[in-house]
């Protein structure tokens, strides 16, 4: 159907905006992992805030496999977020470029409407560590790849969306 990319900084309102795009049977593909109590609490809050409208799938690594499993006409799939997924891929020692290629090849073939949420990490300070710089660069490349194939790209700052590609919903 269509692919939408929603970009923004941390706590910019991008997830709330993306959830507002939901139509039809709603599936939430969460990529975070709960490594500590703070993250467990954050995940619990997100689950509660989403409510019963959403079918939740938690998958930190196998993004394309999970998308294939839940793909169907009339479905809305929200992937939140690509930033955590990329971090998981890198920390697992997997080939992030191959994973990005797989995702880019798959998205146009899906029957569901897919909204991808991702952080824009290249607008701040240069990370001081090689791993931090590698992550920033990989995230920028991933975002560019997704934006190139997306039908719509929105940037959210301070809760306000800006259309970079396509049109904001009425």
Q: What's this model's pTM, rounded to 2 decimal places?
A: 0.94
Cβ(40)–Cβ(34) below 8 Å:
yes
Check residues 41 and 99 and name the one with the higher pLDDT.
99
Give the chain's radius of gyration (CA, Å): 15
Report the distance separating Cα 144 and Cα 51, nearest Å.
Answer: 32
Give the number of residues written for the chain.
170
Catalytic sites, residue numbers: 46
pLDDT-based confidence at residue 115 (cuts at 50, 70, 90): very high
pLDDT on residue 3: 98
Q: What is the pLDDT of residues 28-78, one digit of tens each?
A: 999 988 878 888 888 788 777 777 889 999 999 999 999 999 999 999 999
CA dihedral sign, ordered 144, 92, 110, 14: negative
- What's the N-to-C CA distance of the chain in angstroms? 19
């Amino acid at each position: 159907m269509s692919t939408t990319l929603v970009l923004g900084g941390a706590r910019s309102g991008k997830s709330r905006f993306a959830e507002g795009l939901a139509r039809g049977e709603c599936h939430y593909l969460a990529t975070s992992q709960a490594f500590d109590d703070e993250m467990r609490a954050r995940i619990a809050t997100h689950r509660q805030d989403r409510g019963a409208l959403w079918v939740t799938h938690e998958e930190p690594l196998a993004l394309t496999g999970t998308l294939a499993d839940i793909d169907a006409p009339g479905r809305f799939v929200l992937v939140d977020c690509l930033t955590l997924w990329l971090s998981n891929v890198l920390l697992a020692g997997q080939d992030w470029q191959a994973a990005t290629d797989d995702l880019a090849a798959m998205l146009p073939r899906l029957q569901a409407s897919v909204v991808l949420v991702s952080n824009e990490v290249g607008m701040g300070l240069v990370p001081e560590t090689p791993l931090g710089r590698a992550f920033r660069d990989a995230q920028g490349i991933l975002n560019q790849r997704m934006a190139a194939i997306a039908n719509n790209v929105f940037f959210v700052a301070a809760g306000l969306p800006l259309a970079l590609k396509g049109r904001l919903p009425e």
